[in-house]
Chain A
Amino acid sequence: MIALLALALLLGAVALAYMADSWRYVLAGMMAQYLAMSLLLMREAPPLFGLLRLGVGIAVALILYFTIRQFQYATRRGASVQRVLRASRYHPYRLATLALTAVIAFGLATANPFPDYTVEGSLAAYFLGGSALLMLLVGQQMLRDGISLLFLDSAIQFLGMATVSEGTFLTLIFGSLVTPLLALAVAFLMTLQREVPSPEGPNQ
């Protein structure tokens, strides 16, 4: 039951991050994704692993939240900036590609579940990884690209945790360093984006 709820939450979270126009919804989707993956991870690995991922997710959300606030503040002061998020057009097309990703992930997870994982766990990882690549291919905005990379990281870290035994918990900690560092790199590029002239003109 919890697995099904977590999968539904994951589907909603990815759809929100993929389709929403407002950065607040995109960040909310990202945070919900971390919550869903933590719930699933608690079933597949020791609960501490799931809590660790949730903690990392909160740190990432805070980094991006404060960066966007700073970005908005600079925009209000009149800085010439490129839009962080372009309004996502072609909603039906986006919805269709997301549904296709979910179907492919379901097929892969049932035919080839990841070693040591349940079908639900494999489905979550395949879907999240596939959606991340889809977002990366479709998106051209820094924030959405960053979120898609974070989704990809989340899927791979999720898969890595089953093969890491409790004795090598430190390996897990070192591996988890990647996530906040990635968020910082995205925040750094977003901050500099204020100074990069946009071919589309100033921010709205």
Chain B
Amino acid sequence: MIPLSFSLTVLIPGLAGVGLLFLEGRWRRRGLMAAAILAQGYLSLTIPLEASTEILGLSLEWSALARLFLPVFGLLSLAMLIQSEDPPYGPHFASLGLFVLAALNGSLISSPLLAASLLIVAGLIGLFFIPQRPRLERSWQAAHRYLAQTFVGGMALILGLLLVEAQRTALVGLPLLRIGVGLLALGFAMRLGIIPLHQWLVEMEEHALDMASALILGLINVATLIFLVVVFLEKPPAVIDPRAHQLFSWGGALSIGLGSLLGLAQSSPRRLVAFSTIYDLGFIFYGVSSVTELGWLGALWGILHHGTTQVLLRTSLTLAQARRKDPDRPSSMGILGFWGGGLALVGMPPLSPSLGRWMILTVALKRHWVLGSAMLGASAVMLLAYLRMGLRLFLGPIVPLGSNGEPESWPEQDLGQPAVARLVTGLILAAMLILNFYPHPIIALLQQAIRSFAFPVS
């Protein structure tokens, strides 16, 4: 029974994706997607924690992280795929999205080496979302850069893992091991878009369609972040070289500082969202490399909200676009979503992402108070950027969403579905509010995940 349940976590979204290729009618397609996500949620609750199995030589394991993220991935996919039903997303967007989901589900339950391959598979499928009409020229260039940077990053991850894995058999000398850790750092930075390897992320946010970049950053990047946590908690690079964690910490701090400053300098909302994503990734990187339970808890809490915040901000931008039809009527749900997502990112209550931000800030202030204060200052800068952009976007005259200072003509069909966007924004805001006041069950699950790893934490 357990091997079947494990297989179904991958097969259900995969088969639903195949089904969508042939199914006509909006409500039928929505029904199939919802059924697949429900089945996935049911499986995540019924497979016992720490269960493991072997299928044709593949070792699979069910962890607390898989139990938590499988339904989250499902719900986020549903929210994104329903918003991408209309042109210009293309008829097969939802099918490809479900194939991505199948690969990511597989990465949650696999051994690290296979998980890395599945993340590359998901990233390659994600490439098909980026070049879309009507902005083909620039989105094509963004896709070209995305392919080169994230694929090289993925290969660096696999090579780094191979070298670190070989440590077990004592076949690798210290120089090669250090190269392995360096490759892991490079691979994660390239795939996630940590400064200074962030160019693909900014270009994609700027030129790809909203749900395309939400799917890549909200699902594929989140799965990569979970993989980062697993690699760190299973084989901490500090065991090989204590300076390795400093490398990750400073990489994270650099992304926080520069991400906030560059975010403030933007006049385009999409570019602001891109730099706030980099700023958020910096916090997660810093939390993971802190090797403290509070830091890891903050990082996992941040990862849990990273995808949700992506969808929230993107959906708010859809509502900002819808203002073009009726400029005199500000969208209250749009501004709530945009400010709610932005302020939660910088640690302002009462939405749940702020909890994770304060956990990491507490750790940072305890470890190096100067660096912690700088991170606090960077958060204040990002807060200012979001307040300013929200006012311009929803209460001022209509502004172009794309590149800085460039006029942009958006075709009418690119406006998305405002009713669905309002519903999704409302649901996400409500869930974040509830989770802020009642976080205990999720925190207990995350603590269980942290303690299931052998590496001792302080």
- A residues at B contact (CB < 8 Å): 112, 115-116, 133, 136, 142, 145, 149, 152-153, 156, 159-160, 163-164, 167-171, 174-175, 177-178, 181-182, 184-186, 188-189, 192-193, 195-197
In the complex, B237 has a CB within 8 A of chain A = no
Given A182-B151, A188-B127, 17 more contacts at CB 8 Å? A149-B148, A153-B151, A156-B159, A159-B162, A160-B113, A163-B113, A164-B113, A170-B55, A170-B56, A170-B57, A175-B113, A175-B117, A178-B124, A186-B147, A189-B147, A192-B131, A196-B140
Residue contacts A-B, CB under 8 angstroms, 10 given: A115-B163, A149-B151, A152-B151, A170-B56, A171-B57, A174-B118, A175-B114, A177-B117, A182-B151, A193-B140
Q: Interface residues of B toward A: which range? A: 35 or more
Instruction: Please measure, in the bound complex, the distance between the C-alpha atom of A192 and the C-alpha atom of B286, giving whole angstroms.
Output: 39
Q: Quick one: given A115-B172, A171-B113, are A197 and B166 in contact (CB under 8 Å)?
A: no
Instruction: Please measure, in the bound complex, the distance between the C-alpha atom of A142 and the C-alpha atom of B144, giving whole angstroms.
Output: 8
Q: Which residues of A contact B141 (CB under 8 A)?
A: 196
Cβ-defined partner of B158 (8 Å) among A115, A160, A169:
A160
* Shortest CB distance B200–A (Å): 14
Q: Which residues of B contact A133 (CB under 8 A)?
A: 152
Q: Which residues of A contact B406 (CB under 8 A)?
A: none
Q: Which residues of B contact A159 (CB under 8 A)?
A: 159, 162
Q: Determine the residue in chain A with the shortest Cβ distance to B125.
A: A181
Main secondary structure of the interface of A (DSSP, over half): helix
Q: Determine the residue in chain B with the shortest Cβ distance to A166.
A: B57
Cβ-defined partner of B128 (8 Å) among A112, A175, A185:
A185
Report, nearest first, the 7 A-B pairs whose CB atoms are least far apart.
Answer: A115-B171, A115-B166, A175-B117, A181-B124, A168-B57, A170-B56, A156-B155
Q: Check B169–A115 contact: CB distance below 8 A.
A: yes
Cβ-defined partner of B121 (8 Å) among A116, A136, A149, A181:
A181
* Shortest CB distance A143–B (Å): 12
Q: Quick one: given A170-B56, A171-B58, A197-B137, are A185 and B114 in contact (CB under 8 Å)?
A: no
Q: Determine the residue in chain B with the shortest Cβ distance to A191.
A: B131
Q: Check B144–A145 contact: CB distance below 8 A.
A: yes
* Shortest CB distance A153–B (Å): 7
Q: Which residues of A contact B114 (CB under 8 A)?
A: 171, 174-175
Q: Determine the residue in chain A with the shortest Cβ distance to B58.
A: A170
Q: Which residues of B contact A116 (CB under 8 A)?
A: 166, 171
Instruction: Please measure, in the bound complex, the distance between the C-alpha atom of A184 and the C-alpha atom of B151, giving whole angstroms.
Output: 14
Instruction: Please measure, in the bound complex, the distance between the C-alpha atom of A167 and the C-alpha atom of B171, giving whole angstroms.
Output: 21
From A133, A136, A156, name the one whose CB has the most chain B CB atoms within 10 angstroms. Answer: A156
Q: Determine the residue in chain B with the shortest Cβ distance to A149.
A: B151
Instruction: Please measure, in the bound complex, the distance between the C-alpha atom of A186 and the C-alpha atom of B163, giving whole angstroms.
Output: 29
Q: Check A163–B140 contact: CB distance below 8 A.
A: no
Q: Determine the residue in chain A with the shortest Cβ distance to B106.
A: A174
Q: Which residues of A contact B175 (CB under 8 A)?
A: 112
Q: Determine the residue in chain A with the shortest Cβ distance to B103.
A: A177
In the complex, B176 has a CB within 8 A of chain A = yes
Q: Check A167–B57 contact: CB distance below 8 A.
A: yes
In the complex, B120 has a CB within 8 A of chain A = yes
In the complex, B143 has a CB within 8 A of chain A = yes
Interface string of B158-179 (1 = CB under 8 A from A): 1100110110010111011000
* Shortest CB distance A119–B (Å): 15
Q: Check A156–B117 contact: CB distance below 8 A.
A: no
Q: Which residues of A contact B431 (CB under 8 A)?
A: none
Q: Which residues of A contact B140 (CB under 8 A)?
A: 189, 192-193, 196
